[in-house]
C-alpha cells in the first residue's frame, strides 16, 4: 500500500488558497439572506465598478504571486523538522508566534494601506482598483492591483512569518486563519453568532465603512485589530442599524457624517 505525504511547505502554500475559495463559497451561498446583508443585491450590482469575472481573474493572479513568494521563502529559510516537533507540543510558543505575527501583519498593513490612500499617485494607479468594489463581497477580498497585492499582503505575510519565527507547519494554520478573517471582513454580511464579530471589533461592518466614500480616510486597520486607527485618530465610530426593507447599514456617528 502506497502512502503519500505532503510537505508542510506545500501545505503552507496551497492551504490558504483552498481556504479562500471554500470560505468564500460559503458566503456566496449565504448572500441570498437579505436580512443579514449590509447592502442589497441591487446596490452590489449598481455600485460596483468591476465585473465579477474580472475580480476572479485578479484574485487568481494575486494568489499565483503569493504562492511563488511562499515557495521562495520556504526554500530560503529551509525546513527544520526537529524544530517543528519541539514546537507542536508547546502551546505557549505557538500562541506567542500567532500574536507576534498578527501584530506585525496589522502594523505593516495599516501603514501601507494608509499611505496608499494619502499618496495620490499610489491611490489613483494602484489602490483604487480594490475600491472599485464599493459593496464588498467575500471572494473580492483579495482583489487588488498586483503591486498592492505584493506590497501589502505578500510582503506583510513574509515579514510576519520571519519575525514571529514560526515554522512552515505553524504557518499553515496562521495564514489560513488570516485568510478566513480577510474574507469575513469583506463578506458584506452581519450574521448572528459570528465568532469573528464577537472577538474582533475590526469586522465586516468596520471595513464596509472604509469602502464608502465618507469613510475612505478612516478605518484603515486590517485584518485583525483596530488599535492603530484608534491610536492615530483614523477610527470612524459607527452604529449598525436595521435597514428599511431588511438587512443592516453601518452608519457613521453624526459628527463624522456632518463632516
- Divide the 259 residues of the chain into consecutive groups of 10 and give the mean pLDDT of each group: 67 94 96 94 95 97 93 78 54 93 98 97 97 97 96 95 92 95 96 93 95 93 97 95 90 67
- Assess contact for 242 and 224: CB atoms under 8 A: no
- Assess contact for 124 and 14: CB atoms under 8 A: no
pTM value? 0.91
Enter the C-alpha cell of residue 112: 501601507
Residues 240-259 as b or e (16 or more Cβ within 10 Å = b) = beebeeebbbbbbeeebeee
Task: Specify the pLDDT at position 255.
Answer: 63
The full DSSP string for 126-157 is: TGGGGGG-SS--GGGTT---HHHIIIIIIHHH
Amino acid at each position: 500500500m502506497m502512502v503519500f505525504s505532503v510537505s508542510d511547505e506545500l501545505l503552507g502554500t496551497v492551504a490558504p488558497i483552498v481556504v479562500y475559495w471554500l470560505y468564500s463559497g460559503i458566503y456566496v451561498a449565504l448572500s441570498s439572506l437579505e436580512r443579514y446583508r449590509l447592502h442589497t443585491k441591487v446596490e452590489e450590482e449598481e455600485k460596483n465598478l468591476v465585473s465579477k469575472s474580472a475580480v476572479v481573474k485578479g484574485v487568481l493572479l494575486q494568489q499565483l504571486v503569493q504562492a511563488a513568494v511562499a515557495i521562495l521563502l520556504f526554500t530560503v529559510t529551509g525546513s527544520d523538522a526537529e524544530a517543528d516537533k519541539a514546537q507542536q507540543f508547546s502551546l505557549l510558543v505557538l500562541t506567542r508566534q500567532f500574536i507576534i505575527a498578527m501584530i506585525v501583519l496589522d502594523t505593516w498593513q495599516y501603514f501601507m494601506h494608509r499611505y496608499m490612500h494619502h499618496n495620490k499617485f499610489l491611490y489613483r494607479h494602484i489602490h483604487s482598483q480594490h475600491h472599485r468594489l464599493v459593496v464588498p463581497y467575500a471572494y473580492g477580498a483579495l482583489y487588488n492591483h498586483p503591486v498592492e497585492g505584493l506590497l501589502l499582503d505578500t510582503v506583510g505575510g513574509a515579514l510576519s512569518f520571519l519575525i514571529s519565527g514560526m515554522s512552515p507547519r505553524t504557518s499553515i494554520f496562521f495564514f489560513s486563519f488570516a485568510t478566513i478573517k480577510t474574507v469575513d471582513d469583506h463578506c458584506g454580511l452581519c450574521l448572528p453568532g459570528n465568532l469573528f464579530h464577537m472577538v474582533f471589533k475590526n469586522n465586516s461592518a468596520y471595513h464596509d465603512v472604509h469602502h464608502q466614500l465618507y469613510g475612505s480616510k478612516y478605518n484603515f486597520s486590517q485584518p485583525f485589530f483596530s488599535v492603530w486607527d484608534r491610536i492615530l485618530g483614523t477610527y470612524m465610530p459607527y452604529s449598525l442599524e436595521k435597514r428599511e426593507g431588511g438587512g443592516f447599514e453601518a452608519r457613521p456617528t453624526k459628527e463624522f457624517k456632518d463632516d
